[in-house]
């Protein structure tokens, strides 16, 4: 059995790495760009960021918040989103243990982080996120009271999941006349 502190540390580091990827999603999805290729670049000078300058939170601190090449400031949002990823990764594992359930919850929260920042920047919730997100997260059931997320037995043990699911139905926003389709 792994010590819980070790699991917590791994969860935080993993979450922060995902947070780094979320920054890529927040920046590229509204532009219709690939989130996979090319690798991370400085948004100002377009220089590809080497792996040693792409360590979540730590690289920002070591570089004093500036790009190594152009020396222009890096937005504080980047390490902030990485920190959010780390903290929510930690919270997911702390709440559900190192389980599939924790993974599903974390992916759900990560999706909401991306949606939140894109909405703040562009006033849209891209269909590229909301439509697949709906089918993935809500087909499995999302029940806050019995915590049987992603489990078919949710349908038998709790009815609250239905109203909760309706409350978070992101795509209804689009069906009612919605926002941009990117």
Q: Which residues bind Zn ion (CB under 5 A)?
A: 42, 44-45, 67, 69-70
Q: Which residues contact 126 (CB under 8 A, 6 or more apart)?
A: 29, 30, 118, 180, 181, 182
3-state secondary structure of 72: coil
Task: Name which of 40 and 111 has its Cβ closer to Zn ion.
Answer: 40
Q: Least distance from C-beta 82 to Zn ion, angstroms?
A: 18
Q: Least distance from C-beta 30 to Zn ion, angstroms?
A: 21
Task: Name which of 44 and 165 has its Cβ closer to Zn ion.
Answer: 44
Q: Least distance from C-beta 96 to Zn ion, angstroms?
A: 39
Task: Name which of 6 and 51 has its Cβ closer to Zn ion.
Answer: 51
Q: Select from 100, 86, 28 the least CA-distant residue to 58.
A: 86
- Give, as one character, the DSSP assignment of residue 38: S
Task: Name which of 73 and 144 has its Cβ closer to Zn ion.
Answer: 73
Query: Using an 8 Å Cβ cutoff, are 7 and 93 in contact?
Result: yes
Query: Using an 8 Å Cβ cutoff, are 29 and 126 in contact?
Result: yes
Q: Least distance from C-beta 47 to Zn ion, angstroms?
A: 5
């Amino acid at each position: 059995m792994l010590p819980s502190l070790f699991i917590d540390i791994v969860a935080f580091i993993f979450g922060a790495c995902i947070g780094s990827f979320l920054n890529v999603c927040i920046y590229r999805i509204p532009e219709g760009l690939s989130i996979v290729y090319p690798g991370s670049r400085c948004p100002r000078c377009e220089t590809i960021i080497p792996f040693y300058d792409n360590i979540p939170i730590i690289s920002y601190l070591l570089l004093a918040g500036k790009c190594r090449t152009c020396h222009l400031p890096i937005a504080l949002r980047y390490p902030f989103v990485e920190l959010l990823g780390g903290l929510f990764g930690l919270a997911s594992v702390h709440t559900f243990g190192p389980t599939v359930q924790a993974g599903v919850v974390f992916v759900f929260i990560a999706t909401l982080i991306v949606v939140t920042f894109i909405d703040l920047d562009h006033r849209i919730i891209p269909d590229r996120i909301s439509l697949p997100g709906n089918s993935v997260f809500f087909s499995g059931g999302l029940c806050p009271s019995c915590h049987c997320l992603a489990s078919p037995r949710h349908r038998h043990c709790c009815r609250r999941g239905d109203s909760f699911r309706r409350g978070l139905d992101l795509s209804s926003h689009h069906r009612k006349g919605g926002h941009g389709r990117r």
